[in-house]
Amino acid sequence: MGPPLHLVHIKILAADLLSLTVLQTSRPSFLRRGRTVTRAELVGIVVSRDRREKFLRFLIDDGTGCVPCVLWLNHQYLNANVSSELSASDPNAEMALKMSEEVCLGTLLRVRGKIVMYRGAIQIAVRDVVLEKDPNVEVLHWLQCVRLAKECYDLPPPSAPGAT
Amino acid sequence: MGTPPPESAGTPRRLTVADLLRLRRPTTGASSLHFPSAPAPTSRSPSRPRKKPKHAATAPASTSGTAPFAPISYPVLLSGTLSHPSAAAPPGCRDNCFSFSDPTPSTSVSPAASVCCCLLDFDPTALGREIRVLAWNYLPSIRLHGAAGVLEVVRWCLAEEEPAPAPERSFLEIIPLHCPAQNPVLATRGCVFGVVRSVSVAFSVPQANAEKKSVSSVGFLAEILCCGCRRCKLSPPEAVQDHKFEAVKFVCFVDSVCTWRPLMVWLVGRLVYVSGLMKKMASVAEKDSHIMLVSSSNTAMAWCRSYRGNVPLDGSPEKCSGAYAGVITGIYLQGQVVELDDTVCLLIDDLLLLPPHSLRVGAVISVKNFRAMRLNFSWMATVLLSTCSKTCITVNSFSLLDSKSHVKSQSKSFLGKFVDSLEMPVRFWMLLLISCFNQKFTKLFSDKEIIGSENKQGVIHAYATKTLSLKCQPQRSLIMKFCSHNCGSSSLDSKLEACKLVIPFCNFIWKGESLWISSVLKFWNVPKEVCKSQPLLCKGFPYTGFAKRIISSEELDYVLVGSIETSPLSGRLQLVDSTGRIDVVIPDLPSNGSLYGIYEISNYKLALEGPVAYLDHCNVSDSLSCKAIFQKFSYKKRVHQLSIYVIVCWRELNHIGPSLHIPLQINYRAKSFHLVKLSHIFPANNAEHQNMSGPILYAEAVILPHVFQFIGQGECIEHAEAFRMLHSHLLGSSEASVSKLCDIPCSLSFGSTNLCGTLVFSNSCGSDGTVLNELIVCEREHTSRILLEFKEASFMKYQLMRINGYYLLQCPSANLTCTIEGCGCLEGGKVSLDSQDKIWSIAITFYDNKSTKGTIGHQSVGVASQMEEPFSREVNRDELKLVQSSSIEVISVSSCIDIMKPKEASGFINLKTEELVQGNLISVHGKVKNVHSHVGMGGRCMIGDEKCSLCIHVSDSNHTVRLHGYVSKHSIVGVGPGAAVTFHRVLLTQHELLLTPVTYIEVTSISHPDLTEESVISPLNSNCLKGCSPSTVSPCLFFHQKPFIENRPMQFHCRVATVLKLVLDKSTSHGKIPNVKVRLAGFILDDGSSLCCCWADDARAELLLRLQELAHLDASVSLKLSKGENSTKLQHTIGCCLEKMLKRHTCVTVKNCGIPPDLSCQELDTSSDLHKVLSRFEDKLLKFIILNACWKGTLNVIASAVNPEDLNGFNKELPDFPVRNMNMLWIKEVFPVDPLEEARKLYGILENS
């Protein structure tokens, strides 16, 4: 029996992420083998980058597929009710800006975020981005995806014992 | 010129030159002295002044070294006549000094006493007149090696003022030399008017005239830039304006006027008129001839006082022009090299150029006409002023610092002639070489061997000839050198590449230390705060790790030259010279190698190993400057615990030194041998093993019950054709047992001997060659351990011993019994080896290419990647077991942990109790991860730092163990990070491995990780070092309930999702960086399977919070937090910013009210112990810390179920959901992920599952 997965960032490969079952409710939810997942962690190379005023869009390619990611840089608009001085020095905004600088074409990144739908496609609303310097982390990530799938994610969900 | 002393200064005592000559020590005197408060000199009795010199005469005067000048404590007035030196004076005096003598009394028959004299502010008018010397120094003759004493006149005046100080001096002042004839003969009408440009050294002038063929007279040449106008030729000139001094003329001063040289040197750069010269044609080469003016008995000279022109420089550098004035800062090699202003080297190696007597350290001299060149040696660059036949050296100020006069030795050895034949830059290198060799070997070998004799090459000569591949070049005549002057040659720079420094070892060690200091300083200086605050941890304590630097000889540009010895203190091979010794590792030391004499090593690797502790910017003076090489370098150890050693291959050792006198004696007549297997080598222990008969080193061996028989004439080695090795049980056994024998054909090699023969066993052998011996039990009873005692003559053999190697021990008795007790080899349980030839290593090779171990060449040290490992060291599966393998089986780190594991379960034993530590002695092999001093953690140093408590972390591919104990600093040479090491006889206790006094550390290979950031500061830590028990911690997932059920530590691979709670305190421990204590931190960790609430404190929490990392805070925060430091651009670690905050608040508690795992820090609940309100910036800093902790890659965390006591009641107010439902863990260790390693492990797990 697997644990609930909606709180964790599941380690996942692009192909698996993009093939999640989407339940089109008021807020789309994503199912992996019948279990709800909301957050994901990917490791891959930045193959496209599009910086706008309020967000940064980029594509992460991990060899199994390309995942669109969006990093929001619109904190000052969200904090419109707070005084301008405070919002200017919002650590979240600063962090997001710094992360956006790490996203460069060709770099190996570890991306965590929420799985969201945008114009009918799955994408990641990025929570954080870590620049990886050792290329071996990619292999390790693949192996972890396999291990976690075997030992955790793809175990029969609590609701349907015995299902494979 | 000075003025007479004022009368008020007291009447100075008159002193004569004869009085001076009685002085035996360097003395200074003056005609007027001022004593501010001292007793008046006039009150002394009249007899006192006379006594003073006598007293001084009895004072011991050393002939070498420097004695201070003794001042005469009363005013003295010295007067005498100044004149040209006498023609009979020694060349050194005749060329440089004037003569100062007592006025000749008309009554006296004996010549007046005279001394050499140097004057400051010389004036030609004083020549031939009486002068009063007002201030002077006197160096007695004893200090000039038999030459006359020298008077240095600092101030003087004419005894009688000139009768009428002419208001209008004539244009030319006649120099009173001697009265020229009024009507000069026609032949001597030649005259020159011009500026003296250079003056040659004095030399024997060859005479071409037939009548004077046999006589050669001394003379010198002067180069004068003359005016070629008609007027000058007709009458003495009267004004300078109308003349142009352009034409070069050479004037040769010979015979009686050769004593004018000091005067001419003074006249360099001045305008002179010389008359009474003869014109002669001088052929200076086959093609070249010069019209030369030669002095005659009518020659007269005048000079122009008013002329202030400059000598036009000859443009090209090889023409040797130029002037330099400077303070002498060093004189080396008997005055051949003079260092000026600490920067420039003046080379005075021309035998004819005799420097003035006053050339001493501290004097100010000016040098004219030299060739300046920049020498770019590979190890240093310097400016060399090379003197030649044109060079003049004058003293501008005398030195009172030094009274040592440097006189060049006149004798020219074979080496000296060779040096003279070399071109300039190489000649300078040669002098460096001579200085180095002299320093290095004067005490170890005889002078004859090193320097050579008149006809025989010494080591230096041979070495230089080999390096330079040059031959002696013919010398040109001096006239040719002076007249068609060309000292230069541009093709020399290439030759300097071959000129490497033969470095004295103390300079080398100093240089090694300097290299280390600079690497370490670079380390501590660059990202300062990061380095200081990211220590490696052992048992949770931070430590300074060891690092290693390996430098190839190509980067160093020195050649090592020395003899090789075994140090009785450390038992290690060392490269030795008189100045120092360096450990040397020769991976392929051959068994029959002899190491007598001097070796040159130009291809080597210098290894530096030591803790990366902060070092003060201690004395980093250059050990490779000219000064440091010419003078004996005074070495003082600056870095402790640094091992410096050199790795060199045998083939790189180039024997250059004196040949071996004693041939290596090998007893080829020996017939009988014992076969032994080495079971242990004892490390040298200087405290215990020194006795009356000299140093001794020990090894332990097991006697094998086998007997050797050489087959052939006389059954001795010399005529051996084959061999048989019999089990001792077969000796004298019945025919029946012999019939069951099994003969294994094999070949045996020892030394340079290779033999084919058979191995005879009493039983059948397996198909794979393994001998199945049923007599193992019997053998055990028969094997006996013996101690091998190596005396000084056999130290080389000690070097060659390898544990588990097989050796033939020569037995003097011809009786073939296997019992060593019976033959008399054994005395008190030990065999004494006092010569080289008693023990031989053997290797047995079977024809199917399976060999036993034991070749002495199997070496333990090789540089893994760069140096080709001379011999492989693979374990032979088919090893023939001649004896049941003893307890010295080497086990791996993992098996070591396996042995320890079950014992761990049996419960802890408190090691701090008085009981003796018990355990087995084992041998462990593994790779050294790091080494650190255990001094701060309960260990200490013993016996004058010779032994130190160390902790060595050793690992194999899976596990790490910690070995600790007291180790001599000699035994850990090479045991740095990355070295593959076998530790023989370490004590395996229930929890740990202890190094014992008998532990022998064998370094199999060393890698060379350089001093990189990762090797030193990354908190890489072993996963089994937690607590005292090395145990494996299996990787686990949070959703597994194991850790909560089994209550043992588990390893998780996770990231920080958010920070729940922080209790930050000011640290009480001094010196902690940052000065922050995390009393408690609560994290939500995410490993991909589940979230988990984990708690940590101290170092673990700091690592998870990334307090040691550089803060990427915006300027406003760091500025606010580092007020007054003008540090907007300074980067601070987060910890440092926190430290400042905690100074205000002492203790701060932060509670995150957001709902995990969302990244939220909007709802922070902060409180300060002092109930102060946190400023906006402080609030922002805390938010930043939380965000920053989440913005980090994956970490490894070792944690176990939380103990409620650990939390100290801090956990009372946890957020409701989802934390309340989570399991809680206490973090015991945090360390970074090695992705490759982890991936391999994980792959293994997935493959097996």
Name the residue with higher pLDDT: B790 or B751: B790
Q: Is the Cβ of B1233 closer than 8 Å to some Cβ of chain A? A: yes
Among A8, A9, A132, beta carbon nearest to B1193? A132
Quote the mean pLDDT of chain B: 70
Q: Is the Cβ of B1159 closer than 8 Å to some Cβ of chain A? A: yes
Of B267, B292, B308, the one marking the end of a domain is B308
Q: Is the Cβ of A92 closer than 8 Å to some Cβ of chain B? A: yes
- From chain B, pick out residues whose CB is under 8 angstroms from the CB of A124: none
Residues B986 and B1042 in one domain: no
Residue A25 forms part of a structural domain: yes
Name the residue with higher pLDDT: B502 or B1174: B502
What is the share, in percent, of chain B residues with pLDDT greater than 90?
A: 1
Give the CA diameter of chain B: 133
Determine the average pLDDT of the residues in B287-302. Answer: 78
Residues B988 and B1044 in one domain: no
Q: Of chain A residues 65-84, which have a CB less than 8 A from chain B?
A: none
C-alpha pair distances (Å), B721 with each of B197, B614, B750, B758, B1219: 83, 64, 14, 12, 85
CA dihedral sign of residues B552, B555, B561, B566? negative
Residue A159 forms part of a structural domain: no
Give the CA diameter of chain A: 57
Structure tokens at A33: 């083998």
pLDDT digits (tens, 9 = 90+) for B360-418: 888 999 988 888 888 888 788 888 888 887 888 888 898 887 777 666 655 567 777 78
Residues B651 and B757 in one domain: no
For chain B, the distance separating the N- and C-terminal CA atoms, rounded to the nearest angstrom, is 105
For position B232, which CATH number holds? 2.40.50.140
B543: amino acid identity, one letter: Y
Count the neighbouring beta carbons within 10 Å of the beta carbon of residue B1213. Answer: 10
User: Nearest-CA residue of chain A relative to B1161?
Assistant: A92
Best CA proximity match to B1008, nearest among B1155, B1153, B829, B861: B861
Count the neighbouring beta carbons within 10 Å of the beta carbon of residue A155. Answer: 17
User: b/e map of B935-970 (b: 16 or more CB within 10 Å)?
Assistant: eeeebebeeeebbbbbbbbbbbebbbbbbbbbbbbb
Q: Is the preceding omega at residue B1218 within 30 degrees of 0, hence cis?
A: yes
For position A102, which CATH number holds? 2.40.50.140
Count up the domains in chain A and report the number.
1
Domain that holds residue A90: 5-153
Beta-bridge mates of residue B760: B726, B743
Name the residue with higher pLDDT: B939 or A41: A41
Residue A26 forms part of a structural domain: yes
Report CB contact under 8 Å: B1190, A128: yes
pLDDT at B928 over 50: yes
The helix/strand count (H/E) of chain B reads as 28, 59
Residues B669 and B598 in one domain: no
CA dihedral sign of residues A27, A33, A39, A42? negative
Residues B651 and B590 in one domain: yes
* Three-state DSSP state, A143: helix
- If pLDDT is split at 50, 70 and 90, which confidence band does B211 have? very low
Count the neighbouring beta carbons within 10 Å of the beta carbon of residue B1120. Answer: 18
Q: Is the Cβ of A57 closer than 8 Å to some Cβ of chain B? A: no
Contacts of A31 (CB under 8 A, 6+ apart): A20, A21, A22, A23, A37
Residues B127 and B276 in one domain: no
Q: Is the Cβ of B1235 closer than 8 Å to some Cβ of chain A? A: yes
Residue B369 forms part of a structural domain: no
Report CB contact under 8 Å: A7, B1091: yes
Q: Is the Cβ of B1112 closer than 8 Å to some Cβ of chain A? A: yes
Determine the average pLDDT of the residues in B659-664. Answer: 52
Name the residue with higher pLDDT: B533 or A13: A13
Q: Is B375 left (phi over 0), alpha (psi -120 to 50) or beta?
A: beta
State the nearest Cα–Cα gap between A136 and chain B, in angstroms.
5
Contacts of B1201 (CB under 8 A, 6+ apart): B1043, B1044, B1047, B1223, B1224, B1225, B1226
Task: Give the pLDDT score at B212.
Answer: 47
- How many CA atoms within 13 Å lie on the side-chain side of B479? 21
Q: Is the Cβ of B1053 closer than 8 Å to some Cβ of chain A? A: yes
State the nearest Cα–Cα gap between A52 and chain B, in angstroms.
22
Q: Is the Cβ of A146 closer than 8 Å to some Cβ of chain B? A: yes
Name the residue with higher pLDDT: B406 or B652: B652
Residues B689 and B669 in one domain: yes
Q: In a mutagenesis test of the A interface, which of B1012, B1085, B1178, B1191 is the best target, namely the one with the most A β-carbons within 10 Å?
A: B1191
Name the residue with higher pLDDT: B1187 or B595: B1187
Residue B1191 forms part of a structural domain: yes
Contact at 8 Å (CB) between A109 and A130? Answer: yes
* Three-state DSSP state, B1179: helix
Residues B1185 and B1155 in one domain: yes
Of B847, B872, B905, the one marking the end of a domain is B847
Q: In this structure, what are the phi and psi dihedrals at residue A58, rounded to the nearest 5 degrees?
A: -150, 160
Which contiguous run of DSSP H or E holds residue B846? Answer: strand B843-846
DSSP string, B894-952: HHHHHHHHHHHHT----TTSSSPP--EEEEEEEEEEEEEE-GGGT--EETTTTEEEEEE
Task: Give the pLDDT score at A56.
Answer: 92
Report CB contact under 8 Å: A140, B1176: no
pLDDT digits (tens, 9 = 90+) for B443-452: 778 878 888 8
- From chain A, pick out residues whose CB is under 8 angstroms from the CB of B1218: 7
Task: Give the pLDDT score at A89.
Answer: 64
Distance CA B477, CA B505 (A): 41
Name the residue with higher pLDDT: B1220 or B1236: B1236
Residues B842 and B695 in one domain: yes
Domain that holds residue B748: 664-712+742-761+781-847
- If pLDDT is split at 50, 70 and 90, which confidence band does B1179 have? confident
- How many CA atoms within 13 Å lie on the side-chain side of A18? 15
For position B684, which CATH number holds? 2.40.50
Task: Give the pLDDT score at A140.
Answer: 92
Task: Give the pLDDT score at B691.
Answer: 55
pLDDT digits (tens, 9 = 90+) for B528-570: 443 343 456 676 666 667 777 888 888 887 889 888 888 877 7
Burial level of B180, CB count in 10 A (0-12/13-18/19+)? middle
Residue B802 forms part of a structural domain: yes
pLDDT at B70 over 60: yes
- From chain B, pick out residues whose CB is under 8 angstroms from the CB of A41: 1088
Q: Is the preceding omega at residue A156 within 30 degrees of 0, hence cis?
A: no
Contacts of B832 (CB under 8 A, 6+ apart): B789, B791
Report CB contact under 8 Å: B1235, A140: yes
Q: Is the Cβ of A137 closer than 8 Å to some Cβ of chain B? A: yes
Distance CA B282, CA A57 (A): 94
Q: In this structure, what are the phi and psi dihedrals at residue A157, rounded to the nearest 5 degrees?
A: -65, 155
**Cα-to-chain-centroid distance, residue B281:** 58
Task: Give the pLDDT score at B364.
Answer: 92
Distance CA B609, CA B929 (A): 13
Residue B343 forms part of a structural domain: no
Distance CA B65, CA B402 (A): 9
Of B793, B817, B847, the one marking the end of a domain is B847
- If pLDDT is split at 50, 70 and 90, which confidence band does A79 have? low
Q: In this structure, what are the phi and psi dihedrals at residue B16, rounded to the nearest 5 degrees?
A: -105, 170
C-alpha pair distances (Å), B533 with each of A10, B527, B840, B1136: 33, 11, 54, 10
Name the residue with higher pLDDT: B724 or B1102: B1102
Task: Give the pLDDT score at B666.
Answer: 52
Q: Is the Cβ of B1039 closer than 8 Å to some Cβ of chain A? A: yes
C-alpha pair distances (Å), B1023 with each of B540, B543, B708, B896: 12, 16, 51, 15
Residues B692 and B800 in one domain: yes
Best CA proximity match to B947, nearest among B938, B960, B934: B934
Best CA proximity match to A60, nearest among A4, A12, A10: A12
- If pLDDT is split at 50, 70 and 90, which confidence band does B288 have? low
Which contiguous run of DSSP H or E holds residue B776? Answer: helix B776-782
Structure tokens at B585: 């590792």
pLDDT at A58 over 90: yes
**Tokens 């390309």 belong to residue:** A66
Q: Which of these ranges, B91-95, B707-711, B908-912, has the smallest mean pLDDT?
A: B908-912
- From chain B, pick out residues whose CB is under 8 angstroms from the CB of A130: 1191-1193
pLDDT digits (tens, 9 = 90+) for A104-114: 889 999 999 99
pLDDT digits (tens, 9 = 90+) for A133-152: 888 899 999 999 998 898 88
Which contiguous run of DSSP H or E holds residue B784? Answer: strand B784-790
pLDDT at B279 over 70: yes
Residue B400 forms part of a structural domain: no
pLDDT at B94 over 50: yes
Determine the average pLDDT of the residues in B290-306. Answer: 81
Beta-bridge mates of residue B673: B810
What ipTM score was computed for the predicted complex, to two decimals? 0.91
pLDDT at B474 over 50: yes
Distance CA B271, CA B175 (A): 12
pLDDT digits (tens, 9 = 90+) for B860-908: 222 222 222 222 233 232 233 333 333 456 777 777 777 776 544 443 3
Residues B115 and B250 in one domain: no
Kindly report the pTM of this predicted structure: 0.62
Q: Is the Cβ of A11 closer than 8 Å to some Cβ of chain B? A: yes
Residues B132 and B223 in one domain: no
Which contiguous run of DSSP H or E holds residue A43? Answer: strand A39-51
Task: Give the pLDDT score at A69.
Answer: 94
B1040: amino acid identity, one letter: H
Contacts of B816 (CB under 8 A, 6+ apart): B672, B707, B709, B731
Name the residue with higher pLDDT: B774 or B87: B87
Q: Is the Cβ of B1037 closer than 8 Å to some Cβ of chain A? A: yes
Determine the average pLDDT of the residues in B1163-1171. Answer: 76
Q: Is the Cβ of B1090 closer than 8 Å to some Cβ of chain A? A: yes
pLDDT at B855 over 50: no
Residue A164 forms part of a structural domain: no
Q: Which of these ranges, A98-102, B184-188, B496-500, has the smallest mean pLDDT?
A: B184-188
DSSP annotation of B25 reads S
Q: Which of these ranges, A107-116, B42-51, B146-155, B471-480, has the smallest mean pLDDT?
A: B42-51
Count up the domains in chain B and report the number.
7
Residue A145 forms part of a structural domain: yes
Among B1112, B1176, B1242, beta carbon nearest to A98? B1112
Task: Give the pLDDT score at B9.
Answer: 47
DSSP string, B389-453: TT-EEEEEE--SS------------HHHHHHHTS-HHHHHHHHHHHHHHHHHHTTTS-HHHHTB-
